Amino acid sequence: MSREMDEFVDKVRSSADILTVVSSYVSVKKQGRSYFGCCPFHSEKTPSFHVEPEKGLFYCFGCHVGGDVFKFLSLIENITYFEAIKLEAERLNIKLPERKKTAREMEREKVVNELFDANELARKFFHSVLVNTSFGKSGMAYLASRGITEKIIESFSLGFAPNAWDKLTTALKKRGVKSEALLKAGLASKSRDGNRIFDRFKNRIMIPIADIRGRTVAFGGRTMGDDNPKYLNTSETPIFKKGEMLFNLDRAHKEIRKLEYSIVVEGYMDAISLVAAGIDNVVASLGTAFTANQAKLLMRYAKKLYFAYDSDEAGQVATVRAMGLAASAGAEVFVIGIPDGKDPDEFVRKHGKDGFLQLIKNAMPLVDFRLQYILKRTNTDTLEGKVRALHDMLPALTGLRDEAKRIYYQKKLAGALMLDEGVVRNEMGRMGGFIPVGKSDRKVVHRRENALERAGRILIKEAVEDEAALTYLREVLPVDVIESESQKEIFAELFKDGADINITKLTDDAAAELSRALMEEYEGDAYIDALKLFERQDLNIKYQRKSRELEEAIIRGESGERSLEDLRSIKKALDEL
C-alpha cells in the first residue's frame, strides 16, 4: 500500500472502537476488563464470544475465530477486509485518500454518476406526474383501490408514467440528461430505425428501487390492468444487478437487525402493503427468483428469514427453491402460510398487522414445510412413492445442525411414510450425514488442548506486553520447536517488527491465534513454565537425534563416544529442568 493508504488505515484503526462496533451487532456484558456475549458466527447458548476493548481484539472460544475490528466487520457483513475498513471509515466520516484514477476508471465513474442522476430525476418526474398532474389521476385512483394512502405514496415516492411516448425523455433532456444515459439507465428505448428514442415505461405505476444507501437505481412499473407483463422492470445496468439487491432493504435493514429476522415477499406491492400496515422488516425480490447472493445480503442483518410467497402452486414452487438457497447459505428458514389462496398484500389489507403477525408466529420451519409439501405432491401409498418422498426429504434432514432436531425429524418422516426409522437413518448415512454449512455459520471446534500450543500463546502475550521479554525470546526461543504454523507466523512478525505487531499482515488463523493469546489469562509462573516446556521439547528432539546418531555409529562398527557424551549432557540438562 502507499504511504497515504497506510496512514488512512492507521487513522481508521485508531479511531474505531471495537466495543462500539461489536455492540451494534451483538449483545455483550462486561466481566472485569472484558466483554462477553453469544457468538454471532455460530449458534450457542453459553457465551464464548470475548471482546477486549483495550487491545482492540475479539475472539470466540467456541468456533475459534478472532481478530481486530475490521476482521469482525468483514465476517459479520460478509465483505472483504478492505471493504470493512472503508465501511468503518464512512461511519467515522474519515475520507478515503484519493489517488490518481485511470482514464478508464474516470469514464466509468462518469457513466455511473450519470445513471444515478438520470434515475433520480426520473423518480422526481414520475412522482410529480402522479400527485400533481391530470395524467396521474388514474394512477391515484388505482392506488387508492389497493389501500395505498397518500402517506405511503410519499414514503415510497411512488409515481406514474404517462400514457405517452416521450414525456419523460423530453423532460429529462431539458434537464441536461443525454440520450445515451437514458438508454443505458433503461428509461428509454430506441426506435426501430434508430433515429429517435422513446419512453420505456408508459401508463404504469412507477415504483423506485433504491440501493442500500437509498440512491435510486431502477424502477418497477406495475400495470393497472391486464396488460402483460404485469410488472415491467428496468433491465440490468452498471448500477443495478437484480440478483444482488432487494426492494425496500434500504428502509428495512435497521428494523431487520432490531427484530432479528426478515420477511421476504415476491412482489413490490406485497412489501408496500406490509409496510403500510406497520410491518417494516420486509423486502421483495426484484422480478427474478430469489438468489443465494440475496440470502447472504439479508444475513448481514439477521440469520432468520421468513418467506411469505403466494399460496398458489407457482408461489409454493418458488418457496421451496428459495428456502433451499437460503438454508444452504446458512440461514434459519421459516415459511409463512397465507390462507385462502391469498397473497400477503390481500391478506394484510383484510386482516391487518395483527393478523399477519399471527401468521408469523405460526410460521413453519423449513423441514416441516418441505415434508408437508412433498407429502401433498407424492403418492406415498406405493413403495416407489415412499422412496421418492424419502429421497426428496433427505437434503433438508441432513442439513440440520442440531442432532436432537435431526433425530426428531427422522422419526417424524419415518412415521409419515410408514417406514422403519433405521431405513431413514441408513439413507441419511449414505448421503454423508450433513450438508456442508455456509461460511456465515461456523462450526464449534472442540480442540484438544496442546500444552506446547498453550505455552506458545503465553510467550506471545509476554512478548507483546513486555519488550524485555521479546528481546530475550529473540535470543533463546528455539523457533524450530514450535509446532503451530500460526504461532511460527506470529513469532516471525514479532521478531521482525517488534511488539507493535500489525495484525493485517497475518493470515486469518494467525490473527485469531494472536487474539486468543492476548485474551487468555495466565497465573503465577506461567511464563517461566512455558519457556521450560519449549526448552524441554528442544532437548527431547536433540536427545532423539543423538540417539539415532549413536545407533547408526554402532551399526557402522564405530564407538560413538562423541554421541554418547552428547546424550549424557542432554540427559543432565533435562534432569535439571
Same domain, 117 and 235: yes
Q: How confident is the model at residue 305 (pLDDT cuts 50, 70, 90)?
A: very high
Same domain, 403 and 355: no
Q: Specify the higher pLDDT residue, 161 or 569.
A: 161
% of the chain exceeding 90 in pLDDT: 37
Task: Say if residue 127's pLDDT is above 90.
Answer: yes
Contact between 223 and 187 (Cβ < 8 Å): no
Question: Within a domain: residue 436?
Answer: no
The rounded mean pLDDT for the chain is: 85
Is 442 inside a domain boundary? no
pLDDT band at 254 (very low <50, low <70, confident <90, very high): confident
Is the residue at 98 inside a domain?
Answer: no
- The domain that holds 184 is classified in CATH as 3.90.980.10
Residues 10, 59, single domain; the answer is yes
Same domain, 487 and 558: yes
Instruction: Say which residue, 138 or 370, is predicted with more confidence.
Output: 138
Residue 207 is given by DSSP the state E
Residues 433, 400 contacting (CB under 8 angstroms)? no
Give the chain's domain count. 5
Kindly state whether residues 222 and 135 are assigned to the same domain.
Answer: yes
Mean pLDDT confidence for 416-438: 63
Taking residues 292-303, what's their average pLDDT? 87
Both 161 and 179 in a single domain?
A: yes
96 in a structural domain: no
Beta bridge partners of 210: 216
Residue with cell 415510497: 156
Split at pLDDT 50, 70, 90, the class of 399 is low
Q: For the chain, give the percent of residues with pLDDT over 70.
A: 92
Whether residues 83 and 118 share a domain: the answer is no
- The answer on 315 and 197 residing in a single domain is no
* 479 within a domain of the structure (yes/no): yes
Residue with cell 437434503: 395
The reply to whether 505 falls in a domain is: yes
When pLDDT is averaged across residues 502-527 and rounded to a whole number, the result is: 83
Report pLDDT for 271.
96
Statement to judge: residues 255 and 272 lie in one domain: yes
Whether the full predicted model's pTM is greater than 0.75, yes or no, is no
Residue 288 placed within a domain? yes
**Is residue 299 a part of any domain in this protein?**
yes
Mean of the pLDDT values across residues 491-507? 82
Same domain, 374 and 352: no
Q: Are residues 407 and 343 in the same domain?
A: no
Tally of CB atoms within 10 A around 152 = 17
Domain span holding position 139: 113-240
- CA dihedral of 55, 61, 64, 68, whole degrees rounded to 10: -20
Lowest-confidence pick of 309-313, 341-345, 561-565, 573-577: 573-577
DSSP assignment of 544-570, as one string?
HHHHHHHHHHHHTT---HHHHHHHHHH
Sorting pLDDT into bands at 50, 70 and 90, what band is 408? confident
| pLDDT digits 0-9 by tens, 430-473 | 655 443 333 344 555 555 557 888 888 888 888 888 888 888 88
Whether 236 and 257 map to the same domain: the answer is no
